[in-house]
Structure 1
Amino acid sequence: MLRIFLLCCLLLPGLLSANEVAWAAWREGKAVLIMRHALAPGTGDPAHFKLEDCSTQRNLNPQGQQQAKAWGALLLQHYAADITLYASQWCRCLDTASLMNIAEVQPLPALNSFFAGRGNGQLQTQALLQQFAAATVPMPTVLVSHQVNFTALTGYFPASAEAAILALPLTSPATVLARITP
């Protein structure tokens, strides 16, 4: 039904832009927003990486911190009530989510990076597909994760702090309603 509505909106000029339709679906709980964490220079994590020790991980730089805050402001422009906010357990994702200042951050292991064999991409992607298998969620939902997780769901490589609004139920590949940069 959502896909038919989206098609109608795209075919009827002057009604709503595709991004407006995507944001409406997100606000109504018919889509989720997935975001790659804000800028944390480098690739992967050091060999001495420990999940519980941020000093052993790549972390947000000042630009990344500003990106996260900008995302919070953008999200609040689109919806100023309760939002569900999930993040990978990596510090750069938790910090991105915290700095948005939109909701209490809930760590979600399925969003953890599986780059360089640190996790299991197939199992984690399946867990996300199962968690968001319903046609709706109770409130707008934001997922803060990593490039590999984002790419596994969408099929494209996002920039740092890039997001996409994905139609529910979540599928593989996901139906991308909009790509968004802050």
Structure 2
Amino acid sequence: MHRLNNLRWGRWLGFCLILLFAAFPARADEQAAWAALEQGGHVALMRHAVTVPGVGDPPGFRLDDCATQRLLSDAGRDWARRLGADLRKRGAAAGRVLTSAWCRCVETAELMDLGPVEVFEPLNSFFGTGDDGARQTEAARELMAAWRGPGMLVLVTHQVNVTALTGIYPASGEIVVLRPGGEVVGRIRP
């Protein structure tokens, strides 16, 4: 019985150590992301904040009518405001803020309050269009590669775009921080 208890204790301790060590890379990853944004000259590639439940947009949605689109939830609006406040508090200045034309992306960018928001069509979603988005992805890569600052380049877009650019499937409201050449520095998760 004593040997069985020691075995269980050892397994439990091993499991706890694995969880503890698994947490440190994520924290280091996030610290590196914040440091890069504070430094400037990096790209903050963000998936729009949390929306009301659903995937994609309702049939017949129109980009010129927010009432026809899936929009941010209250939690998404709160996250965008808090994230923008955190960035400003840390001195992470935005040199330029670009967004997809979708209302949930524009609203995320506006609520972050980092500067004037411009629609940049290559950030528009290509989810469900049958298009692989190669042209849009290349245009976004060229923009990122040319970025030198001052400040960070903020790009608010959709999961499909972030994944095409980085191979990462981001959570809603997550920022993937990149060097201008596209190398991932770290991630800031909601």
Match of 1:178 in 2: 186
Q: Within 5 A, what are the aligned runs for 1:107-146?
A: 107-117=119-129, 121-134=133-146, 136-146=148-158
Secondary structure of residue in 1 paired with 2:145:
coil
Secondary structure of residue in 2 paired with 1:127:
helix
Match of 2:37 among 21, 26, 31: 26
Does structure 2 conserve the Cα–Cα contact (< 8 Å) formed by 1:85 and 1:106?
yes
Residues 1:138 and 1:122: Cα distance change in structure 2 (over 3 Å): same
Secondary structure of residue in 1 paired with 2:156:
strand
Does structure 2 conserve the Cα–Cα contact (< 8 Å) formed by 1:136 and 1:169?
no
Match of 2:24 in 1: none
Match of 1:156 in 2: 168
Q: How many residues align?
A: 162
Q: Give the distance between the partners of 2:166 and 2:69, measured in 1 at CA.
A: 25
Match of 2:47 in 1: 36
Q: Within 5 A, what are the aligned runs for 1:40-59?
A: 40=51, 41-59=53-71
Does structure 2 conserve the Cα–Cα contact (< 8 Å) formed by 1:113 and 1:119?
no
After TM superposition, the structure 1 stretch with the greater mean CA deviation from structure 2, 116-125 or 104-113, is 116-125
- Structure 1 spans left out of the alignment, 5+ residues: 1-16
Offset at residue 26 of structure 1 (A): 2.9
* More helix by percentage: 2
1:124-161 Cα offsets, whole Å, 9 max, x none, are: 00001111223623321111100000111111211110
1:72-103 Cα offsets, whole Å, 9 max, x none, are: 11211222645311111100000001111121
Does structure 1 conserve the Cα–Cα contact (< 8 Å) formed by 2:87 and 2:93?
no
Secondary structure of residue in 2 paired with 1:70:
helix
Residues 1:92 and 1:148: Cα distance change in structure 2 (over 3 Å): same
Match of 2:103 in 1: 91
Q: Give the distance between the partners of 2:40 and 2:178, measured in 1 at CA.
A: 11
Secondary structure of residue in 2 paired with 1:129:
helix
State the identity %: 45
Q: What letter is aligned with 1:181?
A: R
1:51-72 Cα offsets, whole Å, 9 max, x none, are: 1000110001111111111111
Residues 1:119 and 1:59: Cα distance change in structure 2 (over 3 Å): farther
Match of 1:60 in 2: 72
Match of 1:8 in 2: none
| TM-score, structure 1 as length reference | 0.81
- Structure 2 spans left out of the alignment, 5+ residues: 1-27
After TM superposition, the structure 1 stretch with the greater mean CA deviation from structure 2, 86-95 or 112-121, is 112-121
Residues 1:51 and 1:142: Cα distance change in structure 2 (over 3 Å): same
Q: Give the distance between the partners of 2:149 and 2:132, measured in 1 at CA.
A: 25
